[in-house]
Every structure is written in structure tokens, then in C-alpha cells.
């Protein structure tokens, strides 16, 4: 998976169709979209760059707010690991090289179907990253998305994550 998509409960099928339409329009005629066993969560594997996909959908949303009806959040994923603290910690340390020395970061964790301690994960990762932390205004977000036994990880700018509701709200302001 290189995208996690959230939607309203019981609208997973409509969301899958909407997402497939976007990916086909952007040039991936055969994405693998999976409706997970968690209500309102889909994952997708596309051959396109997931961060670019999010950017293009955000542009569509700004031009035509009604063009995105079912996808609520679209999160690009750069690495997938097994849900084990050691693996998450090691891959986060590897990926942290994408954070330049003068950039501040924050760690964001979303857990679904997992008993791992968020505090423990955060402290282990934070011990490996030497940069300053900024919870309010980070330059980069170390994103840990735990979906049961699989964990998606990314190091992103806040703007690389699409929240359709926040974007639509910003248009009307």
C-alpha cells in the first residue's frame, strides 16, 4: 500500500470507485484498492507517486470542490513494515535522513486494531532523531499509521496529507 484513504462508514464501495477514477485519470489504469476490515478505511497501491496523487486531488478539490465526494482523508505512505516497535523504530530512524538539520518535526501516530503504546513508539523514535521537535509548526511530520499487523510510515510536510473537509473549509473562508 502507498495510500491510506478514510471515508464515512458504509461508503467504502463508493470511495473505492471514486479513488479508482482519480488514479485512472492520473495515469494508473490498474491500481490495487482494498477495502480493509476496518470501517471507513481503504488502502491503495498505485504505481504513481503517492505524494503527487494527493497534490493532484487537492488541486481538483480547489478547482471543483464537488469533484471529491467520498474520500475524506488521503494519506501517502512511503514504507510499510510489520507492526513491531523495533521495526517501526529502525525504519523511522532510516527515513529521518529526509529531515534536514534545520527542520523541526513532530511524530504523529494513528492506531487502528493495535495495542502498541503510542508513548513508547514516540519516545523510541524521538531518541533516534536529533532535530528539534515542534508540535505546533513542524516542517516535517513523521507519520506512523498502524493498521493491525501492518504499519505505513511516511515523512511528509503537513500539506502532503489531504483532508478534504479542511480544504473545502479553506475555500469558503
- What is the set of domains in the chain, with CATH numbers? 3-77+160-172 (3.30.70), 79-156 (3.30.2130.30)
Pairing of strands 140-147, 105-112: parallel
What are the backbone angles phi and psi of residue 71, rounded to the nearest 5°?
-70, 120
pLDDT of residue 172: 78
- Please give the grid coordinates belonging to residue 29: 489504469
pLDDT tens, position by position, for the chain (173 residues)? 999 999 999 999 999 999 999 999 999 999 999 999 999 999 999 999 999 999 999 999 999 999 999 999 999 999 999 999 999 999 999 999 999 999 999 999 999 999 999 999 999 999 999 999 999 999 999 999 999 999 999 999 999 999 999 998 888 77
pLDDT of residue 173: 76
Of 53, 66, 64, 65, nearest in space to 19 by CA: 53
Query: Contact, 86 vs 154, CB < 8 A?
Result: no
Collapsing DSSP to helix, strand or coil, 158 comes out as helix
Dihedral sign computed on CA atoms, order 5, 68, 26, 13: positive
pTM for this prediction: 0.93
Query: Contact, 1 vs 152, CB < 8 A?
Result: yes
Distance CA 122, CA 94 (A): 15
Query: Contact, 153 vs 4, CB < 8 A?
Result: no
pLDDT of residue 171: 85
CA dihedral of 12, 146, 30, 65, whole degrees rounded to 10: 50
Alpha helices in 31-115 (DSSP H): 50-63, 85-95
Amino acid at each position: 500500500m502507498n495510500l491510506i484513504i478514510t471515508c464515512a462508514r458504509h461508503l467504502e464501495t463508493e470511495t473505492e470507485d471514486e479513488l479508482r477514477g482519480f488514479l485512472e485519470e492520473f495515469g494508473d489504469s490498474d491500481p490495487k484498492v482494498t477495502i480493509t476490515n476496518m470501517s471507513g478505511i481503504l488502502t491503495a497501491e498505485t504505481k504513481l507517486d503517492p505524494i503527487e496523487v494527493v497534490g493532484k486531488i487537492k488541486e481538483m478539490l480547489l478547482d471543483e470542490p464537488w469533484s471529491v465526494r467520498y474520500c475524506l482523508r488521503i494519506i501517502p505512505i512511503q514504507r510499510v513494515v510489520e507492526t513491531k516497535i523495533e521495526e517501526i523504530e529502525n525504519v523511522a530512524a532510516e527515513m529521518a535522513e529526509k529531515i534536514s538539520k534545520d527542520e523541526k518535526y513532530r511524530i504523529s501516530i494513528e492506531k487502528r486494531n493495535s495495542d502498541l503504546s503510542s508513548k513508547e513508539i514516540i519516545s523510541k523514535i524521538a531518541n533516534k532523531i536529533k532535530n528539534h521537535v515542534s508540535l505546533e509548526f513542524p516542517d516535517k511530520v513523521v507519520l506512523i499509521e498502524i493498521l493491525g499487523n501492518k504499519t505505513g510510515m511516511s515523512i511528509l510536510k503537513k500539506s502532503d496529507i489531504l483532508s478534504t473537509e479542511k480544504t473545502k473549509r479553506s475555500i469558503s473562508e
